[in-house]
Amino acid sequence: MPLIHISLRAGKPEAYRQAIFNGLYRAMRETLDVPEDDQFMTMSEHDAANFRYGNAFGIKRSDDLVYIQITVFDTRTSEQKQALFRRIAQLLSDNLGIRLEDIFVNVLDSAKENWSVGFGLAQFA
């Protein structure tokens, strides 16, 4: 049950934003075995004054940079995460033309007991 938040510069059309959602969902289904219809994603758009990045690690980023933060159960393996990174990059690059340099992904591990998906219950504890 991943929880995703995406941040990008404002101004992209709705079809572009929806394609990001679709690409991330597909990548998770293919690499993390996420169940069908397990889509919990938000997106924030930021004007130039509220969106900052650098060229750390020698990566020349552009204003098309997309930040993707994915919170998952702490049961995912390193191999699954690496496959996820590769698949996200491939899908967003191939389908939207996003440069590989502009796809920034962060995975946060969270223990199952830290999740309540409704009704005030800890369903996975």
The residues assigned a catalytic role are 2
Give the DSSP letter string of 89-103. HHHHHHHH---GGGE
Cα angle 117, 109, 111; round to 5? 55
Alpha helices in the chain (DSSP H): 14-32, 78-96
